[in-house]
């Protein structure tokens, strides 16, 4: 029999934990039912991302789809004792069932790079995969928020937009290119150079998601640090080449999967919080935009009940960043136009 004093302290520990979770938007009893779908769930990103989404208390239904291998991943993840129910779907015949009723669809389906390749070299295979998956999304869950991870993001997001436009389901508020890994890297590399605890670091990253189109704004990084210009240049280059650093280290065995799963889970969590009405959820993402003359652009975005609540401006840029912005525009525009052209062929 528990003593009353022990019961009181247990009760206050539980309420401290619940109010802490509620403050972070995680009050599991009161949050609505949310279905999250992972397309490409048996892949290098898909598997750890599925696990991380299983750990998210905002998710009530987790739907794992791939062309092969999903029954095993779903059975495995389903044993984790968290809130969501897990279901695995395999092959095109089950895609509709996988998608029905989705609130958020995360897409890490497609081939990854090998050393010596650019992200654009993935276009020929991944463009077709994304086109067919988005066609299914427009049919089975046209109001879901779509988190596009498949590369080249600078082209796959415009492809998705065109597919949705053709189907009459396009809403620019609901389509996101996931650029969170660029932010994750910029924060990590900056904390190392600035010698500050990484947990408190913020660095916006704008532009797109390939090479020089990735533009971290270290002039806006917090906490402030007086880094020399050559350090900023090196940090910028390392952030832009972060993907290649991993591709080379994996030496033919693919690209970033674990850090990407982490980044994808962070972004999906932000989307869910926005849907649930948590205020002031801001993340960088590649979205339809008019902050520059380009039709799609990554910048800070406020997330809400309809997806994108507001695309935020770029803020003040250093001369170095202004130059980087001008330099990235032709490449980013060409990738966007390539995606639009492909989708309309």
Ligand X SMILES: O=C([O-])CC(=O)C(=O)O
Ligand Y SMILES: NC(=O)C1=CN([C@@H]2O[C@H](COP(=O)(O)OP(=O)(O)OC[C@H]3O[C@@H](n4cnc5c(N)ncnc54)[C@H](O)[C@@H]3O)[C@@H](O)[C@H]2O)C=CC1
Q: Binding-site residues, please? A: 40-46, 66, 113, 119, 126, 149-151, 185, 260
90 binds ligand X (CB under 6 A): no
* Residue selected from 37, 38, 39, 247 as contacting ligand Y according to rule CB under 6 A: 39
For residue 283 the two structure tokens come to 């993340």
Interatomic CA distance for residues 122 and 119, integer angstroms:
6
Residues marked as catalytic: 209
Least spacing, CB of residue 63 vs ligand Y, in Å: 12
Annotation: binding site for substrate: 113, 119, 151, 185
Give the β-pairing of 281-288 and 104-107.
unpaired
Spacing of C-alpha 345 from chain mean position: 28
> Which 57-86 residues touch ligand X, going by CB under 6 A?
none
Nearer to ligand X (CB atom), residue 243 or residue 324: 243
243 binds ligand X (CB under 6 A): yes
* Residue selected from 256, 268, 271, 314 as contacting ligand X according to rule CB under 6 A: 256
Interatomic CA distance for residues 79 and 33, integer angstroms:
20
183 binds ligand X (CB under 6 A): no
Interatomic CA distance for residues 41 and 214, integer angstroms:
26
* Residue 207 touches which of ligand X, ligand Y, none (Cβ within 5-8 Å per kind): none
> Which 94-113 residues touch ligand Y, going by CB under 6 A?
108-113
Interatomic CA distance for residues 203 and 215, integer angstroms:
10
* Cα-based distances in Å from 268 to 62, 83, 114, 304: 12, 16, 27, 13
Nearer to ligand X (CB atom), residue 221 or residue 256: 256
What's 32's DSSP letter?
A: P
Candidates 61-69, 95-103, 165-173, 237-245: pick the segment binding ligand X (CB under 6 A). 237-245
113 binds ligand X (CB under 6 A): yes
* Residue 111 touches which of ligand Y, ligand X, none (Cβ within 5-8 Å per kind): ligand Y
* Residue 67 touches which of ligand Y, ligand X, none (Cβ within 5-8 Å per kind): ligand Y
255 binds ligand X (CB under 6 A): yes
**Residue-wise over 294-326: b if at least 16 C-beta within 10 A, else e?**
bbbbbbbbebbeebbbebeebeebeeebeebbe
Q: Mapping DSSP to helix (H, G, I), strand (E, B) and coil, where does residue 247 land? A: helix
Asked whether the CA dihedral 96, 98, 103, 107 is positive or negative, the reply is negative
Chain residues that interact with ligand Y, rule: CB under 6 A: 39-40, 42-46, 66-68, 108-113, 122, 126, 129, 133, 149-151, 153, 178, 181, 209, 254-257, 260
């Amino acid at each position: 029999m528990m003593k009353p004093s022990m019961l009181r302290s247990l009760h206050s520990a539980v309420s401290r934990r619940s109010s802490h979770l509620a403050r972070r938007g995680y009050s599991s009893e009161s949050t609505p039912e949310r279905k999250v779908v992972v397309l490409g769930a048996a892949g290098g990103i898909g598997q750890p991302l599925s696990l991380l989404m299983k750990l998210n208390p905002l998710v009530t239904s987790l739907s794992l789809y791939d062309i092969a291998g999903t029954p095993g991943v779903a059975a495995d993840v389903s044993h984790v004792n968290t809130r969501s129910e897990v279901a695995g779907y395999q092959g095109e015949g089950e895609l509709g069932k996988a998608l029905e009723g989705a609130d958020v669809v995360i897409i890490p389906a497609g081939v990854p790079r090998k050393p010596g390749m650019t992200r654009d070299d993935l276009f020929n295979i991944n463009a077709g995969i994304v086109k067919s998956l988005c066609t299914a999304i427009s049919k089975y869950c046209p109001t879901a928020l779509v988190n596009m991870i498949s590369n080249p993001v600078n082209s796959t997001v415009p492809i998705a937009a065109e597919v949705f436009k053709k189907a009459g389901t396009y809403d620019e508020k609901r389509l996101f290119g996931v650029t969170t890994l660029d932010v994750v890297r910029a924060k990590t590399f900056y904390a190392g150079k600035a010698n500050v605890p990484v947990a408190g670091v913020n660095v916006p990253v704008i532009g797109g998601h390939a090479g020089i189109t990735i533009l971290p704004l270290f002039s806006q990084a917090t906490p402030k640090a007086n880094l020399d210009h050559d350090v900023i240049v090196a940090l910028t280059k390392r952030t832009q080449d972060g993907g290649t650093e991993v591709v080379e280290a994996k030496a033919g065995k693919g690209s970033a999967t674990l850090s990407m799963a982490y980044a994808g889970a962070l972004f999906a969590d932000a989307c869910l919080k926005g849907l649930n009405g948590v205020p002031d959820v801001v993340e960088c993402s590649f979205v339809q935009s008019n902050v520059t003359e380009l039709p799609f652009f990554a910048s800070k975005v406020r997330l809400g009940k309809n997806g994108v609540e507001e695309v935020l401006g770029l803020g003040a840029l250093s001369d170095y960043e202004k130059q980087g912005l001008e330099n990235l525009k032709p490449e980013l525009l060409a990738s966007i136009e390539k995606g639009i052209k492909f989708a309309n062929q």
